Amino acid sequence: MTRTLTKQERLKKGDFRGVKWTKCSETAHFVLFATVNECGIRRFAVTIRKKTGVAVVRNRVKRIVKEFFRLHKGLFIEGSNNLIRVKGLPNKLSMNVMAPELETLLSAVSAHTSIR
């Protein structure tokens, strides 16, 4: 498994709009939705509302979450589309603060693997 985020692993607008998503788990700042895909690979997207903060802050959060996906692809279910919605901002915008919460988000999914 490579440690890159390839084009095939990114979800575009058309890939996740109009699809039936299953809410898999939720933490204080993140919600994970998933659905099965026909590609057989893990695919990923991050969404965040404009109310959450200014563009600089929103982009920082998205970069950190994408980096987490890139480093921890094995935690995501194979053959699934994953959508992480950011509900709110953590106190500090760093990987050290956000990674434990994202790991908690994904550990709940491994116990509940039915996304169909």
pLDDT tens figures, 45-83: 999 999 999 999 999 999 999 999 999 888 888 889 999
pLDDT at 112 over 60: no
Q: Which helix (H) or strand (E) holds 34?
A: strand 30-36
Across the strands, what pairs with 80? 36
Distance CA 29, CA 92 (A): 12
pLDDT of residue 114: 54
Q: What is the pLDDT of residues 86-98, one digit of tens each?
A: 999 988 899 999 9
pLDDT of residue 15: 78
pLDDT at 116 over 60: no
Give the residue from 56, 110, 62 showing the smallest Cα distance to 83. 62
* pTM summary value: 0.85
Q: Which CATH architecture has domain 7-111?
A: 2-Layer Sandwich (3.30)
Long-range residue pairs from 50-55, CB within 8 A, at least 24 positions apart, any chain: 52/86, 52/88, 52/89, 53/89
How far is CA 107 from its chain centroid?
13
Q: Which two tokens stand for residue 55?
A: 């563009």
For 95-110, what is the mean pLDDT?
Answer: 87
Residue with tokens 């390839």: 6
Q: Which helix (H) or strand (E) holds 60?
A: helix 55-71
